[in-house]
Amino acid sequence: MPQITGGTHRELSVGELSERSGVAVSALHFYERKGLISSERTAGNQRRYRRDMLRRVAFIRVSQRVGVPLGEIRDALDSLPEGRTPTKRDWARLSSHWREALDARIAALEHLRNDLTGCIGCGCLSLRTCSLQNPDDSLGDTGDGTGPRRWDDADADADSELTHTAD
């Protein structure tokens, strides 16, 4: 790492960066190992961070909060000029494709919530109709080979009728 020999701008120690950003020192060290932020070393081998690292750490935290993997965050930050803080325009450009992935996750979670509500509403937990109890494997499609089997499908239908009439 480069050595700091002096300068007009006061850099931040890891503790100061931690306090000002609200991120644990261990997380800052982790971010540095992953190439998300960088520091320089003093003659006494202490880390010193440029002030623009505050904005980078904020960018990382917001990106993580919306579910962006650290590898993608690093790639996004690597596309910025060295020493320049991410701007609002940078965020808009970099996050535009993340929005699509976030929208897809939201839709999947809404679907899951609706399935859960439907299942709780019916209360049957039927292996034939309940997607939570038996997602996509209605008795292994009852084909040949290994997998779940019922001794008598007539008994299974009777069980299903008993469950629904018990309401």
Same domain, 75 and 31: yes
Residues 6+ apart with CB under 8 A from 150: 139, 156
Residues 158 and 114 in one domain: no
Residue 9 lies in a domain: no
Read off the pLDDT of residues 77-98 as tens digits, 9 standing for 90 and up: 888 887 777 888 888 888 888 8
As for how many domains the chain has, the answer is 2
> What is the 3-class SS of the chain, one letter each residue?
CCECCCCCCCCECHHHHHHHHCCCHHHHHHHHHCCCCCCEECCCCCEEECCHHHHHHHHHHHHHHCCCCHHHHHHHHHCCCCCCCCCHHHHHHHHHHHHHHHHHHHHHHHHHHHHHHHHHHHCCCCCCCCCCCCCCCHHHHHCCCCCCCCCCHHHHHHHHHHHHHCC
Please tell me the predicted confidence (pLDDT) of residue 57.
Answer: 95
pLDDT in the model for residue 27: 97
CATH (domain of 34)? 1.10.1660.10
Residues 22, 103, single domain; the answer is yes
Q: How many CA atoms lie within 13 A of 13 on its CB side?
A: 6
Which domain covers residue 32, as residue numbers? 14-122
pLDDT at 4: 45
| pLDDT mean by block of 10 residues, the chain; 167 residues | 52 96 96 93 92 92 91 89 80 85 90 72 59 58 56 54 49
